[in-house]
Amino acid sequence: MATTNRPKVSSFLSTSSKALETQKDLDNARQQISQLEKDLADSEKYLEELVGKNNLSQAVVSISEIQRRPYQSRVERDEEAFNDLVASIKSFGFLGSIWVQRLKDRTLRLIAGETRLDAATAAGLTEIKVDIAEVDDVTAVKLSRVENTRRRSLNALDDTEELLYLLTLVLGKTKKETIRSLYRYKNAAEGKAKIDQGIKSLIESTFIEAAPELGVKTFVTSRLPLLELPTEVLAAYNSGKIEYTKAIFLGRIEDPKLRASLLHEAVSNKLSLAALKKKAKPTVQTNAVDSITKLHSRIDSIGSKQISKLSKRQKTKFKKSILELEKKLQDILAELDE
């Protein structure tokens, strides 16, 4: 009698295990697609609530037709998360949300979805579905900030740049002029200066509408210093190697060698902010006392006769320098109060 070779139990279990793994992968894929579709529907509904149904349309457009914003709203990017997003698009197609603004010349400019758009390009897509909002420039930046805040996708520096750009549009000023107006607002609030009531009102309404969680004074004292960080500190912050509080502290250290040494320790040894302050304190104290003593002596030497001899242009420049010095001294006072 011929014997039938039965499959080994181990072979059966192996095949069964592979089938289970395949089924698990399929279930996971279905869950991911379902979540992506839900996120997309929620995003579209959210945008409709913000701009109104009549100001919103959808279309499939060439990615090359979408203009980027005239300001950089994202410096930091998580490469691992980005690569995962690219892989997801390759596996399931693009199921994300891209918001664009239709400009007066009918061209399209990105509002929100910069990383998703880059990921779609990296995945090899040439066309993409977008939500087109018929809004002005100011509203477009407000929408961008609202969406980025909702997704928590910007760090403090990126968010600062975006808010500052919005304020330049609202005030009709350059970036430098806008920063100057913000410092004037803070000084006026402290009774140290006067500010045009129209500008004051515009600044306040912008923060109430676009950044209700941030006060103007907080923005000036805690966020604007980020724009003045030394290059190496800024690079470490943007790459996620140091936190915001450490970046601000290191940025205030004037001695380049000391700053570089402390930055290295902050990154390599994960020193806490308290530990950094302790290591910097002796040197900072000595340098600070010497510097402020010399500055006081120089200011005392300036007499009214010298000022009266200045030309109109020199007086303007002199006044600007005093205002910049006042800002710096306010920062030092704030640090002494910590």
pLDDT, tens digit (0-9, with 9 covering 90-100), for 272-290? 899 888 888 765 555 566 6
Q: For residue 52, what pLDDT band results from cuts at 50, 70 and 90?
A: confident
Does the pLDDT value for residue 202 go beyond 90? yes
- Cβ–Cβ under 8 Å, residues 170 and 139: no
pLDDT of residue 267: 92
- Per CATH, is 29-136 categorized as 3.40.50.2000? no
- Cβ–Cβ under 8 Å, residues 148 and 110: no
The arithmetic mean of pLDDT across residues 152-167, rounded, is: 84
pLDDT of residue 26: 57
Interatomic CA distance for residues 136 and 41, integer angstroms: 24
pLDDT of residue 127: 94
Average pLDDT of the chain is 81
Give 304's DSSP letter.
H
Q: For residue 196, what pLDDT band results from cuts at 50, 70 and 90?
A: very high
The arithmetic mean of pLDDT across residues 227-246, rounded, is: 88
* Domain coordinates in residue numbering, the chain: 29-136, 155-227, 229-293
Q: Which of 173-182, 206-215, 254-263, 291-300 has the lowest mean pLDDT?
A: 291-300
- Does this model's pTM top 0.85? My answer is no
75 — phi, psi (to 5°)? -105, -40
Interatomic CA distance for residues 75 and 247, integer angstroms: 15
Does the pLDDT value for residue 208 go beyond 60? yes
pLDDT of residue 244: 87
The residues pairing with 110 across neighbouring beta strands, listed in sequence order, are: 100
pLDDT digits (tens, 9 = 90+) for 116-154: 899 999 999 999 999 999 999 888 888 888 887 777 667
pLDDT of residue 240: 81
